[in-house]
Structure 1
Amino acid sequence: MPPNLTGYYRFVSQKNMEDYLQALNISMPLRKIALLLKPDKEIDHQGNHMIVKTLSTFRNYVLEFEVGVEFEEDLSIMDGRKCQTTLDMPPARATS
């Protein structure tokens, strides 16, 4: 069984984020704002149901989904887009 990811995660660092945002065609002004943010994540993981809260001084964002089930992700707070998203968990690691 995959690990339970419930917890509060503090932002530590980002690498190549501007290149990533540019590849997604995010506008330059929005990229600059995003690079200034240091968002934390609060995750509530119950079985296959997950709620991921992105918390920042600019705006908070809540993503709620079932693992492995496609859903429409509304990115209107970022750039006005909507996309079909499926999030899966990595398989559990074997322990010896």
Structure 2
Amino acid sequence: MPVSLCGTWDMVSNVNFDGLMITLGIGVYTRKIALKLKHRKVIEKVGDVYVIKTLSTFRNYTVSFRVDEEFEEFTKGLDDRHCKSLVTWQGNKLVCAQEGEKKNRGWTHWVEDDKLHLEVYCEDQVCKQVFKRVA
């Protein structure tokens, strides 16, 4: 059984976020604002549906899904693209593969040493974020 990712998590590090945003085509002014933010992740499981909220003082993004069920995702407020997403468990890692306009796109969440790790990737860029549990 995979470890629970559920809880509230505050960002403690954010490596190569700018490189990822450039690859996603996010404008320079939005990138400057986004780089100053400390994100909060709220991960919940309601029945068999996961809800992941990424919160900041600038923008919020919520995605909900069932593991092993492909779904249509609109990344509103991020890079505003439509893609097909599929989230699976690979060991203790929750992995999302996204098919659409951008190649090699997705993310991976896992818990290690009481920290939530997130790698977000697109094309040749990888952003690595680490969060600490607050609730």
- 1:41 to partner: Cα distance: 0.4
Tell me, yes or no, if the aligned pair for 1:4 and 1:45 is still in contact at 8 Å.
Answer: no
Counterpart-to-counterpart distance in 2, 1:83 and 1:2: 26
- Cα distance, 1:27–1:35 mapped onto 2, change above 3 Å: same
- Between Structure 1 and Structure 2, how many residues are aligned? 92
1:29 and 2:25 matched: no
User: Which residue is 2:6 aligned to?
Assistant: 6
2:90 corresponds to 1:90: yes
Q: Which residue of 2 aligns with 1:76?
A: 76
TM-score relative to the length of structure 2 = 0.60
TM-score (norm 1): 0.81
Per-residue deviation at 1:46?
Answer: 4.8
Distance 1:90 1:74 in 2: 24
Structure 2 alignment gaps of length 5 or more: 93-135
Secondary structure, counterpart of 1:34 in structure 2: helix
Return the structure number with greater helix share: 1
- Work out the percentage of aligned pairs sharing the same amino acid: 40
Provide the C-alpha distance between the structure 2 equivalents of 1:82 and 1:36, rounded to a whole number of angstroms: 26
- Structure 1 unaligned spans of 5+: none
Displacement, 1:45?
A: 2.6
The 8 Å contact of residues 5 and 45 in structure 1, kept in 2 or not, is answered as: no
Which is bigger in relative contact order (C-alpha 8 A, separation at least 6)?
Answer: 2
Aligned-pair Cα RMSD in Å = 1.7
Give, in whole Å, the separation in 1 of the partners of 2:82 and 2:33.
20
Q: Which moved more, 1:62-71 or 1:75-84?
A: 75-84
Deviation at 1:76, TM superposition (A): 2.3
Q: Which amino acid aligns with 2:16?
A: N
**Structure 2 counterpart of 1:87, which letter?**
V
The one-letter code of the counterpart of 1:79 is D
**Superposition map of 1:20-59 within 5 A:** 20-46=20-46, 48-59=48-59
